[in-house]
Structure 1
Amino acid sequence: MRFGINLPNFGAGIGPDTLRGWATTAERLGYHLLTVSDHIALTPDADRRSPAPFYDSFTTLAWLAGQTSTIELGTSVAIAPQRHPLHLARITASLDRLSGGRLVLGVGVGWARQAFQALGVPYHRRGALTDEYLAALRVLWTEEIASFHGDTVHFDHVHTDPRPARSPHPPIWVGGNSRAAVRRAALYGDAWHPLWPQGPELAPALKVLAEDAAAAGRATPAFCPTIPLALTARPLPDRSRRLGQGSIEQLHADLVTLEKLGAQYVGLNPDVGDQRLRRPAEADWGIFEQLAHSVINTSSESLR
């Protein structure tokens, strides 16, 4: 099992020095993946959860690629229906090529309704648009001259070079916990990427994921969740907590659970949604260093 960090690319105290510090610290400590959040239009609904300054996800990843050498870089998650697939394909292929094949593209449908209104994208069609854009993206990544005709997107004879460094394309991690997200991951994804899942929901959802993939004639996508890193001095009641919340012992137990469910990557998110609880970056780095010594750089057997 591999481990990632979802660094906060927004909010008070975030800037070039902090972002660089997150990336170099994560790579030095042996974490495998660094992800950032995504918003294009920081409307009031989005700003309440992820306040300004908000650094653009792909620009940030491109810059961090030059500050690092081995750690994978990803989005958790890019709002797919807010970007035309021709634009998204160009950005991602260029970033994967320039980073030496280190891009992981996490995608989701988005939730901030006001942002969709600001961008002129129909909120009620965001799921259908995401499905079509993912289909178009695969064509653009794998064909030298691409054509595509869908319900919304139409293009012919588009030259695609540079194509991604990874073959046949960077991994697509489909985010979301809903039934529709599981279906989307089975049809279009290389991984299902639930965000802040609750333990009891995972085994049934993974069974459905496998069934949907088999029905579509595809291999079952990988399981790559992100959980909050919300450590407490004392254990929390299991009935009222999510995975990743509670004592260090509870976190260890949660990682064992995820490993038994087949998780290939587990992302840890230090931003728990309430900006009043944000710690200085240096404090977070200390926590991740402690985890690196006790969990990340040890064998899977040590989790048991």
Structure 2
Amino acid sequence: MSLSYGIQLPVQSQSTIYAEPWEAAAGPADLLAVARAADRAGFAYLACCDHVAIPRRLAPAMSTVWYDPVATLAFLAAATERIRLLSHVAVVGLRHPLLTAKQYATLDHLSGGRLILGVGAGHVREEFEALGVDFERRGLVLDESIDALRAALGPEEFPEHHGKLHDFEGLGQLPRPAQERVPVWVGGSSPAAVRRAALKGDGWLPQGDPRDRLPARIARIRHLRAQAGNDEPFVVGAIAEPLYVGRPGWDVGRRTLTGGGAELAESLRAYRAMGVHQVQVRFRCRGRAELTDQIEAFGAEVAPLL
């Protein structure tokens, strides 16, 4: 089986960990160009992060640039044809499940069934406090939110859920998602997140784990799913090191993988050997044109060898 590949969008989130300098002055036209290039190049998905508000103490590192994922993915859905739309990740515990379901069901309906709902627990205490959600119990909140969203994003016009935190029935929501079952991928690499992904998810989105840590976590997921008697398909993800297709004439950093198509494909195929099904890639670049060139080169030179 080939290894599929997706991309976390630039511009829409600008944490200093990964944002390139040119993104600070970029905007909608740049997002459109990147999304269309990825769509043409056979990428499996576009991914978009989720933060509501960043406190001053974290702003220097995280920045305050975080586009809303539903609005951004809907905007790009209308400009693309086949590429899937991933929230990586939606902090669904910040919102009532019926509100989340309304937004993402509409996105799936409008895009013709291209949504992948990536969810995570969140880590910014002030966001939870501002929205009246218990930060200390965010894991429990996420667990029930996933259950409630399974019901609310299912085929029933009047979904039903009865839990400790949320209780609803007899409330209709149309339109329904275009997909019969919206895939839910669970993000995070803590023991609790790995367990949650194994037992509640259709896939796992690790949080930047280096290669040497992935095999043990993948084995753990397989063990937990087997123990639960769950043999349904499950998508294991990974986030690759930064990439540059070709030989850069500038300093791309020592961790960046560089080289021709065969060289990069050989390196990325190691993820497939571990049991990874999809890998998220990010390219070093000095501007939009270089990024779209990199996306096109990856699709033409690397992807066919995966």
- Give the structure-2-normalised TM-score: 0.85
Tell me, yes or no, if structure 1 residue 177 matches structure 2 residue 184. Answer: no
1:50-72 Cα distance to aligned partner (Å, 9 max, x none): 42443211100011111111111
Equivalent of 2:170, from 132, 157, 164? Answer: 157
257, 265, 270: which one aligns with 2:270: 257
**Counterparts of 2:160 and 2:46, CA distance in 1:** 33
1:286 aligns with 2:293: yes
* Counterpart mapping for 1:131-280 below 5 A: 131-142=143-154, 143-167=156-180, 169-219=181-231, 221-231=234-244, 245-248=256-259, 251-270=264-283, 279-280=286-287
Letter in 2 for 1:5: I
1:109–1:127: 8 Å Cα contact kept in structure 2?
yes
The aligned length equals 286
* Cα distance in 1 for residues equivalent to 2:185 and 2:126: 25
Aligned to 2:13: 10
The Cα shift of 1:79 comes to 1.1
Alignment deviations for residues 3-42 of structure 1 (CA, whole Å, 9 cap, x no partner)? 1111121341231111111111111222221111111123
Q: Match of 2:153, SS?
A: helix
Is contact 2:4-2:43 (8 Å) kept? yes
Runs of at least 4 residues of structure 1 off by over 6 A? 234-237
Task: Check the 8 A contact 1:38/1:75 in 2, yes or no.
Answer: yes
Please state whether the residue corresponding to 2:231 is helix, strand or coil: coil
Distance change in 2, residues 1:228/1:44 (3 Å)? farther
User: Tell me, which stretches of 5 or more residues in structure 1 are unaligned?
Assistant: 272-277
Is this contact kept in 2: 1:41–1:118, CA < 8 A? no
* 2:80 corresponds to 1:68: yes
1:77 offset after TM fit, Å? 1.0
Question: Residues 148 and 156 of structure 1 are in contact (CA less than 8 Å); yes or no, is this contact kept in structure 2?
Answer: yes
Task: Tell me how far 1:146 sits from its aligned partner.
Answer: 1.9
Which residue identity lines up with residue 3 of structure 1 in the other structure?
A: Y
* Aligned counterparts of 2:179 and 2:223: Cα–Cα separation in 1: 28
What is the deviation of 1:175? 0.8
> How far 1:235 sits from its partner (Å)?
11
Letter in 1 for 2:13: F
Aligned partner letter, 1:284: L
8 A contact 2:53–2:64 mirrored in 1: no
User: Any idea what SS the aligned residue of 2:88 has?
Assistant: strand
Is 1:121 aligned to residue 133 of structure 2?
A: yes
Greater shift in the superposed pair: 113-122 or 200-209: 113-122
Supply the distance in 1 between the matched residues of 2:281 and 2:107 (Cα, whole angstroms): 23
Any idea what SS the aligned residue of 1:263 has?
coil
Q: Percent identity?
A: 35
Task: Name the CA shift for 1:124/1:248 in 2 (closer, same or farther; >3 Å).
Answer: farther
Corresponding residue for 2:19? Answer: none
